[in-house]
Amino acid sequence: MAKSDFRSLPSVDKLISDERIKELESSYSRTLVVEVARQVLEESRESISRGESAPSSDNLVKSVADRVRTLAEPTLRPVINATGVIIHTNLGRAPLSRETIAAMDAASRGYSNLEFDLDTGVRGHRDVHITSLLCRLTGAEDAMVVNNNASAVLLALTALCKKKEVIVSRGQAVEIGGGFRIPDVMRQSGAKLLEVGTTNCTYIADYEQAITPRTAALLRVHTSNFRVVGFTEQVAIADLVRLGEQYTLPVFDDLGSGCLLDTARFGLSLEPTVQDSVSAGAALAMFSGDKLLGGPQAGIIVGRKHLVERLRKYPLARALRIDKTRLAGLAATLTHYLKGEAEQKVPVWQMISMPLAEIERRAQAWAECLGPLGAVTGGESVVGGGSLPGSTLPTWLVVVKGSPKAKGPSLARKLRASQTPVIARIEGNALLLDPRTVPPDEDQTVVEALQNAVGAFKP
- Tens of pLDDT, residue by residue over 78-126, are 999 999 999 998 999 999 999 999 999 999 999 999 999 999 999 988 9
Assigned architecture for domain 98-345: 3-Layer(aba) Sandwich (3.40)
- CA gap 130, 296 in Å, rounded: 13
Mean residue pLDDT across the chain: 90
What type of residue sits at position 158?
T
Distance CA 285, CA 241 (A): 12
> What single letter denotes the amino acid at residue 34?
V
* Three-class secondary structure of residue 217 per DSSP: strand
pLDDT of residue 459: 47
pTM of the full predicted structure? Answer: 0.88
Higher pLDDT, 422 or 24: 422
Confidence class for position 337, pLDDT limits 50, 70, 90: very high
Q: What is the mean pLDDT of residues 276-300?
A: 96
Residues of the chain within CATH 3.40.640.10 domain(s) are: 98-345
Side by side, the strands of the sheet bearing 374-384 are: 85-87, 374-384, 387-400, 430-433, 425-427
In this prediction, residues 441-453 reach a mean pLDDT of 94
Residue 252 near residue 372 (C-beta atoms within 8 A): no
Q: Write out the residue limits of the CATH 3.90.1150.180 domain(s) in the chain.
A: 80-87+349-455
Query: How many helices and strands in the chain, by DSSP H and E?
Result: 20, 16
For position 231, what pLDDT does the model report?
Answer: 65
Distances (CA, A) of 436 to 340, 357, 451: 22, 11, 20
Thinking of the domain 80-87+349-455, which architecture would CATH place it in? Alpha-Beta Complex (3.90)
**According to the model, what pLDDT value does residue 2 have?**
55
Confidence of residue 156 (pLDDT cuts 50, 70, 90): very high
